[in-house]
Each structure stands twice: as structure tokens, then as C-alpha cells.
Structure 1
Amino acid sequence: MPLRPRMESMDTPTPLQGLKVVELGTLIAGPYCARLLAEFGAEVIKVETPGEGDPLRKWRKLHDGNSLWWYAQARNKKSVAVNLKAPEGQQIVRELVAKADIVVENFRPGTLEKWNLGYEALAKDNPGLIMVRLSGFGQTGPYKDQPGFGAIGESMGGMRYITGYPDRAPVRVGISIGDSLAAMFGVIGALTALHHRGTSGKGQVVDVALYEAVFAMMESMLPEYGYDASVRERTGASLPGIVPSNTYKCGDGKFVVIGANADSIFKRMMKSIGRADLADDPTLADNAGRVKRTEELDRAIGEWTATVTLEEALAVLAKAEVPSGRIYSIADIAADLHFQARGMIERHKLGDRDLLLPGVVPKLSATPGRTQWIGPKLGEHTDAVLRSLGYPDEKITKLREGGII
């Protein structure tokens, strides 16, 4: 069945339709986890502090009091304003969770327990409940009570140490990659726990630590260290031990990324750039041989790219079927025909301006995810959600007057 990459109509069924999620998190990891579930049809009720809301609402560029990031991070969610520190607010959350499948939270361990909203308390009324708990260091261990943002997880998990050039300080990836990785592991854990609940009827806790989510991505670093105590260091744009795979400067000052590390691809590339001598050299026939001559090969490729423009380089490499590409800015991404054809650039209205949002990943052929609405106003769905729990309008008014909602 062919993929249907463009945004589907609202009548198309979604795979997580009927799944109820309560989001108690703020900023990035917890909300992104819940967002991924919302994109595929789960009903996500985001609980925010009255009058304040998620701090992400105020991060980076703003429109009408909310950040542009917010409209993406909170898409398809319902915003309910509830004071979690007040007993009446905690009771509202307990009633919401009693009818939920999943709770997503990313407070410091022990915080929910202080509010009588820990897993044991909530599972008494809902034994099938699945709670996704995202934190810097996990729910156990000697560091569990320490504050831990994504930057700390990226550093402790090994990513920062190998990112950058060997003669400079380690650098960060330009996004909150640690939070996002933890969020995705949270989704994997939630769906795995749902499958288990389908056979056992029992819920459970999904414990995701940011540093562990990063550490899980570190490929061969630990096995190599355990084998002979080797420590992988920063290597700039190259990929150590896999040759050639690097970024090269072209004659027009632009950069081309080339991954020609497969044996047959290496031969095609070297012939295409006029270096048949290297293509036919038997000592370079496999990666082990090429690794020994990494600097020589990078120099040969760099000497060629310096004589051509980026477009010329890409044309030669494409003809030789060598994996290669330009380094995209966000302007390049928004204008790219492939991104557009795959439905990865969504256009929505935000006041009198267009709002561009990234499309939903992955693409499902029969039940694709979609954006039903952009991030809501603070407390936009509070009254409707409370009415669905049986709260009369008079009580809702009293709760609002008392600062509970």
C-alpha cells in the first residue's frame, strides 16, 4: 500500500484514537512525549498552572503572548488550568487520571508524591494506569534528586564529549536533543506497556532518564572502551573508523557532505573524481585498509571539491550514485520540494500570518498522524473537561474564583 504523505482529512481514523493521556509535564521532554501521542490521535489533556502555563509558552519568538514553538509542541492537546499544589486541584487530577490510560510527567522525582499524585496513589483507582516518568537521572540511584536538564543529560550521557573538534571545547547540538530522545523513549515505553496491559490488565511505570536516553545512542563507545580502554575523542565533521565519511569545502565556499564508506561506492566515487588509482588500489578495497589512510583519502577528496562548486560536486556524485548532500538551513528545508512532497512542511493560519509546522513522523499508510489544531490558549479546555467529569457550572465558577483553575 503506498504511503500517503500529505495531511489527511479529519475523517481519517487515527491509530491512537480512544487513548486518553494526562500530561503533567512542562518545557520539553514530557510535553514532546505527549505531543507524539497526540499527533497519532490520543486525547491529551495538558495540565498547566493557572495564570502562568507551561514556561515554553514564553520561550524564543512570541506571537500573541505565546511562543511559536508552543503552537507545535502543544498541537492536538487540550489545555486545562489546574493548581496542582492545592488539594482541590489534586482532586481534579485524580479524577482525570482515573479515566486515563497514560500519565506523562517530568517533575523531579518525589514531586508528585508530595502532592499525593504518585503512581501508587493513582493506580489504586486505576490499576491499568501507565505512568511515563521522565527525569534527569531516573527515579532511583544516588543522583535521582539532582536537577537535570537536557544539557546535563547530553553531557553525562557521552554526547557532548565527542561533539566538536579536538582542539576546542566540546559543543552542544543546536537543539534540545537529550530531551527529545528521552521523549521518544517515553513513547516507546508507553506503547510497550500498553501492549503488556492488553494481555495482563496491569499498568506500570515507564522510567526514562535523560542521560540514559543519550547514552543509549552512543553506538560502539562502551564496547570499544571495555575491550581495550580506548576512549573516542572529538573528530569534527568526520566519522572515525568509517572512511570516507566527512564534510568537504567546495570552490564556492559551500560544503558538501559525502558518505562513500561502502566498498563499491568508494570505487565509483574515486573514479568519478578522476582518482582511478585510488579506486583500483587493492589496499583500499575495504574499510579497514581505508582507515589506515584516512588523511590521504580526505586530502584527495578535498583537493577535488576545491576545484568545483557545490552544485557541480553534487551533480558528479549523483551520477556516480554516491550518497552526498548539502547542509540545509531552515530556509533550505522550507523551500525543498522533497520536504513539501512528503507533507513535512505544514501551513496553518496564525492570526493574519502563516504558521509553518513540521509534519508528523513516521508516515503510516492506513492511519497517519495529523495536526488537528495548533497549541491552545492557556486553560482553553478547562470548563469543557471539568463538565465531562460531572462538575456543574456553579462549582467551576467557585474553583476559578478560588484560584484552583
Structure 2
Amino acid sequence: MPPLDANGMPLRRDDPAARLVCLGVDSIGYVIESTVDPYDSDGVPHGRLLMAQQPLLQGVRVLSLEQVHVLPWGTAFLADFGAEVIRIESPGHMNDRRSGPFPDRVPGETWWNEGGTFAYWARNKESLCLDVTHPLGKDAFLKLVAKSDIVTDNFRPGTMQRLGLDHASLSAIKPDLITLSCTANGHTGPWRAYGARARTVDAACGLSYLTGYAGEGALRASSNYMDHTGGLNVAYALLLALYQRRKTGRGMRLDLSMYETGVSCIGPALLEAQQGIERPRLGTTHLWQAPHNVYPCQGKDRWIAIAVSTDAAWQGLCTAMGQPAWAMAPGFATVPARWQHRQELDTHLSQWTAQQQPQALMDLLQAHGVPAGAVNTAADLVTDAHLRARGYLEAFTNQNAPSVGPRIYAGRPFRTLPEPPRRLQLVAALGQHNMQVLRDVVGLSEADIQGLLEAGALATQPREATPPNAAAASYQASGRDGAADQHYKEAIRTLAQATAHAVH
């Protein structure tokens, strides 16, 4: 049977589209491309095999008016896979560039290029420091839109409309343009004008209500959870839009709500509520499993999580403990019995785990078929042997802030094999690509670019260059300043240098 086009109609044999291009991702963002004749009855590629390695999203240009965390996190995934992501940065609002941590917790002379959080979100992106509220800046931006594929923003609803940069205005310039706006609550509905932070979205979407200990109030995770889930949905939505455009030739407008991404995470609780069931707060315990908790270990504030759901896992735990007499009691013989006597069980188990080192105990329990995980600190993760073995921890020196030195960053949370050489993790200085983008992409003359600079619509440093010293002061006031001893710092530098040498 001949292949079909996007409308379900058979392709002619002489139609170029009948030569299918088979794409196989060989590793993080790289494509092995082969030409296949779809009319070959055996389905085996015949003739010449084209082995062209290129980033998966090469040729896709993204203009991102991004701030804080959620949108920069989402577009970072696109940049990792080869998209040309250009951050459109305002000279007057440094926002996420103000975020540390800074070297030794002290902002330097060019602090806007040194922040660790900023470096993580901005990897592999370009920087165009352009004031789109200025008439000249807006005109240059619109010319750039005409040569781009995607425009993203995470301003409050109405901001892009007031600037004349909404989807209708931009798609009039580029009909197949994809736009995405990521806001707290979306562009419609009674909450559309409400501002938010990740922690307020945590609360609104029900996650905080479900989080906490029995008999106590609601809690929230210390991480900005909704920024991360929202960012993943940004990447997911844009990839789907690119796929749809490839099929239809049409662009689209994407309205992404962080609130809705949060509600999507509590599906079971929504179903239970419709049955009149209120899910209780359980802390680190479980509705029917025991032992299922976090238990103390040797050392200050060291813990291990243990989750036993079957009799086989319970027997493995007993063997690891050396078959203590208390574990042989009838009250611990079955899953229901262990849950009924869970408090007594936790007391016994805590006395044993308190004598153990968490990592060694995790290895012991896993060897006996018991799900267990040491409770790692962030400092533990930086030197984690498993993450290093998988190449997840990536080290590089920000060439635009050499005083920072080599640092280790979290990488991509998935792998395709075999691995290719890693891409250089560029962290652009503010306005580093002004000339490259405006001259080489937009086609402005050097006189036009100079006019933008003189008008204040283009810059390479912030208008307000007051360093964010408040963060450093808060660390000192809390007693956390200097918590990492010199030995640990040296270990990090050694690991960073070794990793950087290995991946570049």
C-alpha cells in the first residue's frame, strides 16, 4: 500500500514526499537520518544511507521574553536539543539575573552575568538586550519575529496586548508563528489577572492541602514545584505545536496555566473527592503499607526512607537486620498486621537504623530486595557517584564570568544511547548577541544598531546596576554563611574540573 499524505491521500511515487525521511534520535538531541523508499515491500531501507548528525531542533528559532524560573526552565530544554533560543532581555529589569548563588555569596562587579540559578536556566541560549517598550526596540523586535518560529512570554495577561505584541499582531507578520504565554492562571477566567508565585500556585491547586503530617496543618515543598512542572509543560506544548505546524503549515497560540498544571498532578484526590472521600495527610507514611517512613541514621540530621509493601520485602528487611526477635512477632507477620501495628514497628526499626550510615544502609537493604533511599542533601547530590556515572552532572566554566570558576550543574533527566559528544553549555553575557542577531539575522545596518544604543533601546549592561546584596546578607543573618567548609569546596572544584575535561 502506498504511503499517505497528511490528509490521508495516497502519495504518487514521483512525489518528493514519498521519499520518507526516517528520524532516529541517537542521543541527546542528535538525529541519525536515513532515506527510505516506502514502496519497498520488505520495508528495509535500500540504496544510500544518509548518516547526518545534527541537533534535533536545529533551525528552530525561539524568541523568549522570559523571567524568573518557569519559562526559562521550559525553553532550556529546547535549547539543549539545538533550538536557537534568544532571550529578549530588558535593560531595566534584571529579574532572574539577580538570582544567586554568587561566588562565595558575594555579587561581583558584573553580578548580572554571575548568578548560578541564572546560569542553569540560561544555558545554551543567546542574549539580546532589547527594550521592546521603546518604539525603536519594538520595531527591531517585530523584524526579528518575521524570521522566527516561536515567541514565548510569561508576563501577566494583557501585557503583550498592551505592547502590541499579542498573537494576533505577531501572526499578522509571520502567519505560521507559534506563540506561548505562560501565566499563573491563564488568559481567561475570573483569576486571569491574579499574580502568583510558585508557592501560591502550590496552595491553590491543592498540593499544599494534601501535604503535611496527620493532625497538622498544610505544608509545601521547599522547592518551587510548580515552576518545574510548568516548565516541562512549556517544552511539551511547544514540541506538539511544532509537530502540528509541520503537518498543517499553521501556527497556533498556546495559553499555559501553572494553576492547571498543578491540578493535573492531583488526579487521584479529585476522583476520591467525587466519591465523598477526603484524602488524609499522611506525612511520610502510607495508607496501607508499613514500614513506610523516614527513619533516623547516624550523623546530624541524616535519614533513610524505607517502603515495604510486600511480605517478600519484609522478609528481606528482617534478614538485613539479622532476624531480630521483635520482628518475629505475629503482629508483624502480614501486610495488614504490620500496618495496624505501624507505630510500634517504626519504634523498633528506628532504633536499628539510628546505628547505621544512610548510604551503606541503603545499599544493604537494596541488596535484600527492600526499597530504600538515603535522604540526600544538595551537597550529597553534587558528589553523588551514581549521577556522575550516568553523566548527569555537567560541569563548565562560564566564560563570561571567569571569576565563578568551574561549577557543576544538573543535566538532562533522560538519556538516549549511544551518547554523542556533549554540546558546549554557553551562558551568554547580557546583550552578548546584540550585533549577531540584529545585523546577521534581522539585517539592520551598523548605523541602525548604533541608533538603538544611543536611544537606550539596546544595551549590554543594566540601567540600574545595584547588586543584589540582600541575598548574601540573609545567608549571614541565618547562620548559613560559610556552611560549606574549605575541604568540601576543594572537592567540588576537583570534580567540576574533571567533569568539564571529560565532556568537552
- Opposite residue 90 of structure 2, the aligned amino acid is T
Point out the structure with max Rg over C-alpha.
Answer: 2
Alignment correspondent of 1:136: 184
Alignment correspondent of 2:78: 37
Secondary structure, counterpart of 1:22 in structure 2: strand
Number of aligned positions between the proteins:
398
Q: Does 1:56 align with 2:96?
A: yes
In structure 1, distance between residues paired with 2:261 and 2:411: 24
Secondary structure, counterpart of 1:208 in structure 2: strand
- Opposite residue 260 of structure 1, the aligned amino acid is V
In structure 2, distance between residues paired with 1:226 and 1:21: 42
Secondary structure, counterpart of 2:370 in structure 1: coil
Alignment correspondent of 1:65: 111
Alignment correspondent of 2:445: 392
Residue pair 1:40, 1:370 contacting (<8 A) in 2 also: no
Residue pair 2:331, 2:338 contacting (<8 A) in 1 also: no
Alignment correspondent of 1:109: 157
Q: Does 1:99 align with 2:99?
A: no
Instruction: Choose the corresponding residue for 2:284, options 230, 237, 242.
Output: 237
In structure 2, distance between residues paired with 1:372 and 1:255: 37
Q: CA deviation at 1:307?
A: 4.6
Residue pair 1:271, 1:279 contacting (<8 A) in 2 also: no
5+ residue gaps, structure 2, are 1-23, 31-51, 103-107, 459-504
5+ residue gaps, structure 1, are none
Q: Does 1:176 align with 2:224?
A: yes
- Opposite residue 246 of structure 1, the aligned amino acid is N
Alignment correspondent of 2:476: none
Question: CA 1:143 to 1:289, structure 2 compared with 1: closer, same or farther past 3 Å?
Answer: farther
Residues 360-369 or 18-27, more deviating: 360-369
Question: CA 1:25 to 1:4, structure 2 compared with 1: closer, same or farther past 3 Å?
Answer: closer
In structure 2, distance between residues paired with 1:297 and 1:266: 12
Superposed, 1:2-401 pairs within 5 Å as 13-50=54-91, 52-62=92-102, 63=108, 64-66=110-112, 67-166=115-214, 168-233=216-281, 235-250=282-297, 252=299, 254-273=302-321, 274=323, 285=334, 291-310=339-358, 313-350=361-398, 351-352=402-403, 353-365=405-417, 370-387=422-439, 388-401=441-454
- Opposite residue 152 of structure 2, the aligned amino acid is V
- Opposite residue 49 of structure 1, the aligned amino acid is S
Instruction: Let me know the Cα RMSD of the aligned residues.
Output: 2.9
Question: CA 1:125 to 1:311, structure 2 compared with 1: closer, same or farther past 3 Å?
Answer: closer
Q: TM-score, normalised by structure 1?
A: 0.88
In structure 1, distance between residues paired with 2:396 and 2:451: 36
Q: CA deviation at 1:108?
A: 0.5
Q: CA deviation at 1:392?
A: 0.3
- Opposite residue 225 of structure 2, the aligned amino acid is I
Residue pair 1:29, 1:183 contacting (<8 A) in 2 also: yes
Q: CA deviation at 1:160?
A: 1.7
Secondary structure, counterpart of 1:218 in structure 2: helix
- Opposite residue 199 of structure 1, the aligned amino acid is K
Question: CA 1:329 to 1:277, structure 2 compared with 1: closer, same or farther past 3 Å?
Answer: closer
In structure 2, distance between residues paired with 1:389 and 1:53: 24
Residue pair 1:14, 1:367 contacting (<8 A) in 2 also: no
Question: CA 1:139 to 1:42, structure 2 compared with 1: closer, same or farther past 3 Å?
Answer: same
Q: CA deviation at 1:99?
A: 2.0
Q: Does 1:404 align with 2:450?
A: no
Residues 106-115 or 25-34, more deviating: 25-34
Residue pair 1:12, 1:367 contacting (<8 A) in 2 also: no
Q: CA deviation at 1:127?
A: 2.4
Q: CA deviation at 1:376?
A: 1.2
Q: What percent identity do the matched residue pairs reach?
A: 26
Question: CA 1:305 to 1:229, structure 2 compared with 1: closer, same or farther past 3 Å?
Answer: same
Residue pair 1:13, 1:367 contacting (<8 A) in 2 also: no
Residues 39-48 or 367-376, more deviating: 367-376
In structure 1, distance between residues paired with 2:313 and 2:422: 38
Higher relative contact order (CA closer than 8 Å, sequence separation 6+): 1
Q: CA deviation at 1:209?
A: 1.2
